[in-house]
């Protein structure tokens, strides 16, 4: 079967977008290579203009619109990254852009899209519902529709990521790619299969949004009843028909990762790699870390985007610290009289823990009269340090309960 998007299409797309789009870094990671036991290289599309790879496909599509029928307006549906890519590309090309985004979309992505010059319309609770609203608007106003993934020109633009990977890592043997609707992996796979037919291509989806994997397993595209994942950039109920056919033809495997694994990957990239990536951008890292993706030889993992909401990031950091034993909340009850809190804090000081906050309750119904409940949030070194603190408190007569992530 001949692919709907050819290598020539991707090379042409690169010529179209090269004056605007960055050739992003592909760098070896000593830390993650040691953790995984292989050669891991990260392709940093989070450093791309607009913070993700989406600018590539959006710009190529807009540039290739029929010159004789150039509309004054383009319209798109997106949960965030495609929105920013279309808004940026449209403004650059002199178009007006209308972006339909789902209700509850990341404030970070919504604000950035506005700042790139788009008119925002909020509709629906998911990307797929926003897409239906955008499609209806397009039929009413005649604007050019810029699909997020199921369009040959968009796919060809995303495929330029594959060209850069092979140029920077000629001996690459495995490429790990996030999948939402399938535009990125379709383009990358089309490029790689032409240049290096034997390369192993592994797609990664969030377990809460496995539309493409289910389509491949079932042999046809079906819409999921619902999706739920912190990787909002790949939370797609219905993958593309075009991308489905290309993934089925060109991709070796699709694996799933949980939200907890994604969150851990985000935190590890931030702390160990000094790199900020969003949930969709971290799924490949999660797959490699947790051995979901069986890699061989030099492996390129695409970090597809870095547009993460600050509130979401703060939750991930706090949960990660708790899971690692570096943050713990303890409660105990003491006699409500002067000096008892000071004594407790003195004992904790001996364990070299840092007290972040203290809550002192004496009027709660569950607390006996003449006593007080003390809640302390503690900054600790690791799980062993937490165990040491609990043992010291117990040995000094304190009945302690903890709140830790399991």
Residue 215: what pLDDT?
Answer: 96
Residue 248: inside a domain, yes or no?
yes
Residue 375: how many CA atoms within 13 Å on its side-chain side?
8
Residues 189 and 274 both lie in one domain:
yes
Residue 405: what pLDDT?
Answer: 43
Residue 137: inside a domain, yes or no?
yes
- Domain boundary among the residues 320, 337, 365 is at 320
Domain, as residue range, for 306: 7-50+152-320
Residue 1: what pLDDT?
Answer: 44
Mean pLDDT on 234-255: 95
Residues 172 and 130 both lie in one domain:
no
Residues 360 and 344 both lie in one domain:
yes
**How many other β-carbons are positioned within 10 Å of the β-carbon of residue 213?**
20
- For residue 50, give the DSSP letter: G
Task: Report the side by side order of strands in the sheet with 400-403.
Answer: 354-361, 371-379, 327-335, 400-403
Residue 1: inside a domain, yes or no?
no
How many domains are there within the chain? 3
Which CATH number covers residue 364? 3.30.70.260
- Domain boundary among the residues 113, 145, 177 is at 145
Residue 2: inside a domain, yes or no?
no
Residue 3: what pLDDT?
Answer: 65
pLDDT at 396 over 90: yes
Q: What is the pLDDT of residues 323-338, one digit of tens each?
A: 888 889 999 999 988 9
- This prediction's pTM: 0.87
Judged by DSSP in three states, 289 sits in helix
- Domain boundary among the residues 111, 145, 179 is at 145
Residues 18 and 159 both lie in one domain:
yes
Which tokens go with 174? 């495995």
Residues 368 and 390 both lie in one domain:
yes
Which CATH number covers residue 91? 3.40.50.1100
Residue 272: what pLDDT?
Answer: 92
Residues 237 and 293 both lie in one domain:
yes
């Amino acid at each position: 079967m001949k692919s709907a998007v050819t290598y020539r299409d991707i090379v042409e797309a690169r010529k179209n977008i090269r004056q605007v789009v960055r050739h992003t870094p592909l760098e070896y990671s000593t830390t993650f290579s040691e953790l995984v036991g292989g050669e891991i290289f990260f392709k940093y599309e989070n450093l791309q203009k607009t913070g993700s790879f989406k600018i590539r496909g959006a710009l190529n599509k807009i540039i290739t619109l029929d010159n004789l029928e150039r509309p004054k307006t383009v319209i798109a549906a997106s949960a965030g990254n495609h929105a920013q890519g279309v808004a940026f590309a449209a403004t650059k090309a002199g178009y007006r852009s209308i972006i339909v985004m789902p209700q509850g979309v990341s404030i970070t992505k919504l604000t950035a899209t506005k700042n790139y010059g788009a008119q925002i319309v909020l509709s629906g609770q998911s990307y797929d519902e926003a897409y239906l609203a955008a499609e209806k608007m397009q039929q009413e106003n005649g604007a050019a529709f810029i699909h997020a993934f199921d369009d040959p020109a968009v796919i060809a633009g995303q495929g330029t990521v594959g060209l850069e990977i092979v140029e920077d890592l000629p001996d690459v043997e495995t490429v790990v790619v996030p999948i939402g609707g399938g535009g990125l992996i379709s383009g990358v796979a089309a490029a790689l299969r032409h240049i290096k037919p034997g390369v192993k291509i592994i797609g990664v989806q969030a377990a809460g949004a496995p539309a493409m994997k289910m389509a491949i397993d079932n042999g046809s595209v079906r819409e999921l009843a619902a999706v739920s994942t912190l990787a909002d950039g790949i939370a797609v109920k219905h993958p593309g028909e075009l991308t489905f056919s290309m993934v089925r033809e060109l991709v070796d495997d699709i694996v799933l990762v949980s939200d907890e694994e994604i969150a851990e990957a985000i935190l590890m990239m931030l702390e160990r790699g000094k790199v900020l990536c969003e949930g969709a951008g971290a799924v490949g890292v999660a797959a490699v870390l947790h051995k979901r993706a069986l890699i061989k030889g030099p492996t390129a993992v695409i970090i597809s985007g870095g547009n993460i909401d600050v509130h979401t990031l703060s939750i991930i950091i706090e949960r990660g610290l708790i899971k690692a034993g570096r943050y713990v909340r303890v409660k105990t009850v003491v006699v409500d009289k002067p000096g008892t809190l000071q004594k407790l804090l003195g004992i904790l000081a001996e364990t070299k823990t840092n007290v972040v906050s203290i809550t002192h309750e004496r009027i709660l119904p569950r607390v006996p009269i003449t006593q007080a409940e003390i809640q302390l949030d503690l900054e600790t070194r690791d799980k062993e340090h937490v165990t040491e603190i609990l043992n010291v408190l117990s040995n000094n007569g304190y009945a302690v309960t903890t709140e830790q992530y399991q």
